[in-house]
Amino acid sequence: VTRDDIPTPALLLDLDRFERNLRAVAIHLSAAGKRLRPHAKTHKCPEIARRQIAAGAIGIVCAKLAEAEVMAAAGIPGLLISTEVVGVEKIGRLMRLLDRDPDVLAVVDHPDNVGDLARAARAAGHVLGVLVDVDVGGRRTGARPGEPALALARAVVDSPSLRFRGLQGYAGQCAHVVGWAARREAAGKAMAPLIETRSLLEGRGIPVEIVSGGSTGTYDIDSQLAGLTELQCGSYCVMDLDYLRIGGRSGDRLTDFEMALTVLATVVSVPAPDLAIVDAGLKAFATDRPFGPEPVERPGLAYEFAGDEHGRLLIRDPRGVVQLGERLEFLPPHCDPTMNLYDRLYAMRGRRVEGVWDIAARGKSQ
Ligand SMILES: Cc1ncc(COP(=O)(O)O)c(C=O)c1O
């Protein structure tokens, strides 16, 4: 089976590039003495998670309980759910997940949730490992650093059915800061209170085994942060245009990781000499970025959304001329929500399909 046999639109993964991305991050982090627990929110694919573990990751982060349920069912170890599990229904499911995998870690940022988790774990006969989630300026989840985080850690330590394992701090507001120096400054400022909170807890006699955070954009910045034990990078394994544009340490493109993910589309109409239409539109790419997909290695062509099922190719010069039925690949603006649109991923070795992998946690946002 080759690329020509794949029904479009379809999601393709270039395995050579993907494998180099896994190796690049593993080499960097092991030299820096940090562990990697990659975020599966990017790919939602157990086969990718398996390969990340094989490349040295200690586990996998899941954004949601439902993602963790899929990963646990696939036998993926070392799961950390990075969003608070709140409410009776979800806490009940978390307890059933612990029946299958007692090592799953949860995060907390509120004392009521600590109490709810402790009661549920006691009733179910479990000891749940917990990280205190600290707000490092993202104004999303997380307790305030310092005393509020210390109070929560104490509440966890005082609950026999919970086991305090450490801290989580995700500085999402820094991940896409354009320019490496500006990113380093932003991430340094954001993460300092997390590391100070670690020292505060340890000073009060609470051992902190895990401090988890970081992103693809700040991977080589967070890796230098004493006190952070593991990184949660997600997009590095496949990359996208948004991350490419933030720039790296030595240029205006982030080329530390390769663009491994594309959407394959077919030209279904050629209505004018300067226009062609492909079968990939708003339902084939995430549309949350202010720029669209880019054709791979096709100068003279520009893509524009043309509705749910269609994309418009503007043929700007003779190099861009396309034929009816021709298949083209496009780089997605944002990998995570694009992968969430597909049931499967075609794992490619050149033009040959080496595997078809289920994106089994696709749509599992509950
Ligand atoms: C909690 C958390 N950790 C880590 C990440 C890092 O992901 P990425 O490397 O794709 O920026 C994210 C991304 O949204 C996240 O929400």
How many whole angstroms separate alpha carbon 133 and alpha carbon 352?
Answer: 43
Locate the ligand 1 atom nearest the alpha carbon of residue 176 and give its number.
11
Q: What is the mean pLDDT of residues 233-242?
A: 98
Residue of the CA atom closest to atom 6 of ligand 1: 215
Asked whether 138 lines ligand 1 (CB < 6 A), one says no
Q: What is the mean pLDDT of residues 135-148?
A: 97
How many A from CA of 234 to the centre of ligand 1?
Answer: 6
Q: β-strand 352-358 against 344-349: which pairing, if any? A: antiparallel
Answer yes or no: are the C-beta atoms of 310 and 350 closer than 8 Å: no
Question: First-to-last CA distance in the chain?
Answer: 35
Question: Quick one: pLDDT band at residue 303, thresholds 50, 70, 90?
Answer: very high
pLDDT per position as a tens digit, 270-281:
999 999 999 999
The model carries a pTM of 0.97
Question: Which two structure tokens, joined as six digits, stand for 38?
Answer: 């990659």
Distance of CA 308 to the CA centre of its chain: 25
How many A from CA of 43 to the centre of ligand 1?
Answer: 12
Q: Which residue of 37, 39, 221, 335 sits with most ligand 1 atoms within 8 Å of its CB, as the best mutation to test the pocket?
A: 39
Asked whether 175 lines ligand 1 (CB < 6 A), one says yes
Q: What is the pLDDT of residue 250?
A: 87
How many A from CA of 322 to the centre of ligand 1?
Answer: 37
Asked whether 235 lines ligand 1 (CB < 6 A), one says yes
Percentage of the chain lying above the pLDDT 70 cut: 100
Q: What is the pLDDT of residue 343?
A: 98
151: which residues sit within 8 A by CB, 6+ positions away?
111
- Side chain identity, residue 170: Y
Residue of the CA atom closest to atom 5 of ligand 1: 215
- The chain-wide mean pLDDT, for the chain, equals 97
Asked whether 170 lines ligand 1 (CB < 6 A), one says yes
pLDDT per position as a tens digit, 71-124:
999 999 999 999 999 999 999 999 999 999 999 999 999 999 999 999 999 999
Asked whether 159 lines ligand 1 (CB < 6 A), one says no
Backbone angles phi, psi at 244, to 5 degrees: -55, -40
pLDDT per position as a tens digit, 309-329:
999 999 999 898 999 999 999
How many A from CA of 296 to the centre of ligand 1?
Answer: 26
Question: Which two structure tokens, joined as six digits, stand for 296?
Answer: 């791979």
What's the chain's length in residues? 366
322: left (phi > 0), else alpha (psi -120 to 50), else beta? beta
Q: What is the mean pLDDT of residues 142-169?
A: 98
Locate the ligand 1 atom nearest the alpha carbon of residue 175 and give its number.
11
Q: What is the mean pLDDT of residues 25-41?
A: 98
Q: Which residue of 232, 237, 239, 261 sits with most ligand 1 atoms within 8 Å of its CB, as the best mutation to test the pocket?
A: 232
Q: What is the mean pLDDT of residues 63-73?
A: 98
pLDDT per position as a tens digit, 119-130:
999 999 999 999
